[in-house]
């Protein structure tokens, strides 16, 4: 396919003001459709919808929000309302001292040596995925398959082999929560206080309560039996200590952080791989080059082969640019400030539309095109123009884990199959909590 003249699917951004009701309805359908088209060519866009808001696409202003004055821009009220029922006051949404000690305690678990030690689980999941694809009827849904593969990884590295951990129950509970509860309501758009009930969230969450009970039982059983050899993520977090205070996580803190890593650790990587496979099928020349590199590094892809897979890793990065799983994040200004020459008042919502940043015409040439060469060695860019994992001190703690997993699985699959598009089955980028391919990613896989 000639990818110069044809572009992969993109979100139709707003061409006119939406109003309060229109914004609420749009946010429930696809949060990214709230972004005005003009945001792709402006460093900042501001407005008012019940609350004052600012969308920031300027790397310098983003550096200020995420790094230089991070304490002045905590996670937004909406973010906490959506996620706290699922993951409590864990690392992802905690602020200040509560965030700091958890980050310090958890950091050793994601040290390079520990991430590399978990690579055999990723290799095994990649090979199991290849076997399922080979046996599947064609075409197959690559999104569903990548969800299965990455959930195998995260459940193995989190609660390795624990019989009391019901993977299917946890998986269905998380999916159900995202589908039914983790949606923006009109009260969120209006800036209603957190104590005002959101009707759509009142009657949900039974599956999550059961999931928390399952996790609690697994943690208690591990405490009774002792650590695994080699240690898994649960063991590493149990042994983690804040070096400043000596504090370690109690059982509920362990549970909330493990559920955070389960949600983030499989959903985001599954999405990255789904879009990467779609893009490789979309551009056969890119696929051929990545597949040749993977075959030369094989036959079995482990962490040791990653230095021989630079182009595969470029494909992963470009997939993250075009379809960042966390494509829209927001903060609430705590103090008065100035961003891009605009006055920011306490209580203003500061939106970081990563999707618009990654497709911004002032930052990227031909930004809607799929081109892994953007990430070739030696290509320079502002660090805050590419933020698939956020930036600053709150950058995703599992970024290296996710990149390693994505490269191992993608290389394994490209080495074994040629992927082709299915006519009439184009995935629609739709964001509720993450940027998912609505309708799935339907591909044909032919053994090489």
Q: Which residues are annotated as a binding site for heme?
A: 396
Distances (CA, A) of 5 to 142, 249, 283, 320, 362: 25, 53, 12, 22, 21
Q: Residues 272, 328, 396, 412: which is the catalytic one?
A: 396
Distance CA 253, CA 166 (A): 20
Q: How many CB atoms lie within 10 A of CB 84?
A: 16
The pair of three-digit structure tokens given for residue 368, joined into one six-digit string: 């809607």
List Cα–Cα distances, 226 to 113, 219, 235, 258, 444, in angstroms: 22, 10, 9, 17, 45
Report CA-CA distances (Å) from 185 to 20, 53, 81, 431.
11, 16, 10, 14
How many angstroms separate the CA atoms of 273 and 279, rounded? Answer: 10
- Any catalytic annotation for residue 203? no
d(CA 51, CA 247): 39
From the list 151, 159, 389, 419, the catalytic residue is: 389
**Choice among 268, 272, 349, 434 that is catalytic:** 268
Beta-strand pair 442-447/417-421: antiparallel
Answer yes or no: 389 catalytic.
Answer: yes
CA distance 360 to 251: 44
CA-based nearest residue to 50, from 14, 79, 19, 22:
19
Does the annotation mark 370 as catalytic? no
Q: Is 19 left (phi over 0), alpha (psi -120 to 50) or beta?
A: left
3-class secondary structure, 433: coil
Q: How far apart are CA 305 and CA 296, in angstroms?
A: 10
User: Which sequence positions are flagged as catalytic?
Assistant: 268, 389, 396
């Amino acid at each position: 396919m000639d990818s110069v003249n044809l572009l992969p699917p993109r979100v139709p951004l707003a061409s006119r003001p939406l109003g309060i009701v229109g914004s609420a309805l749009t946010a429930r359908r696809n949060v990214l459709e709230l972004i005005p088209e003009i945001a792709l060519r402006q460093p900042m866009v501001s407005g008012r919808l019940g609350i004052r808001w600012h969308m920031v696409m300027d790397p310098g202003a983003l550096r200020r929000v995420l790094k230089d004055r991070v304490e002045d821009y905590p996670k937004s009220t909406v973010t906490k309302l959506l996620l706290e029922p699922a993951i409590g006051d864990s690392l992802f949404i905690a602020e200040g001292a509560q965030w700091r000690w958890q980050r310090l305690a958890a950091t050793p678990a994601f040290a390079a040596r520990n991430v590399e030690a978990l690579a055999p689980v990723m290799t095994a999941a990649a090979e199991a995925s290849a076997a399922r694809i080979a046996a599947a009827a064609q075409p197959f849904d690559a999104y569903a398959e990548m969800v299965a593969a990455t959930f195998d990884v995260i459940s193995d590295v989190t609660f390795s082999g624990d019989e009391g951990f019901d993977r299917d129950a946890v998986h269905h509970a998380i999916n159900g929560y995202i589908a039914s509860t983790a949606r923006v309501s009109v009260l969120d758009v209006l800036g209603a206080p957190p104590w005002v009930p959101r009707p759509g969230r009142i009657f949900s969450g039974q599956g999550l309560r059961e999931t928390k009970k399952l996790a609690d039982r697994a943690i208690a059983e591990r405490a009774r039996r002792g650590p695994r050899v080699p240690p898994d993520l649960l063991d590493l977090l149990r042994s983690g200590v804040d070096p400043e205070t000596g504090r370690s996580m109690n059982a509920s803190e362990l549970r909330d952080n493990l559920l955070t890593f389960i949600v983030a650790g499989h959903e985001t990587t599954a999405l990255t791989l789904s879009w990467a496979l779609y893009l490789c099928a979309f551009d056969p020349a890119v696929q051929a080059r990545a597949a040749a590199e993977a075959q030369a590094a094989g036959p079995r892809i482990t962490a040791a082969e990653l230095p021989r897979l630079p182009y595969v890793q470029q494909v992963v990065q470009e997939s993250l640019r075009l379809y960042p799983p966390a494509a829209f994040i927001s903060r609430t200004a705590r103090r008065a400030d100035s961003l891009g020459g605009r006055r920011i008042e306490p209580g203003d919502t500061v939106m970081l539309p990563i999707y618009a940043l990654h497709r911004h015409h002032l930052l990227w040439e031909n930004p809607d095109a799929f081109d892994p060469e953007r990430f070739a060695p030696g290509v320079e860019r502002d660090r805050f123009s590419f933020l698939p994992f956020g930036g600053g001190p709150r950058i995703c703690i599992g970024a290296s884990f996710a990149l390693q997993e994505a490269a191992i699985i993608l290389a394994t699959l490209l080495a074994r199959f040629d992927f082709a598009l299915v006519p009439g089955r184009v995935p629609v980028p739709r964001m509720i909590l993450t940027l998912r391919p609505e309708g799935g990613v339907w591909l044909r896989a032919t053994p090489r």
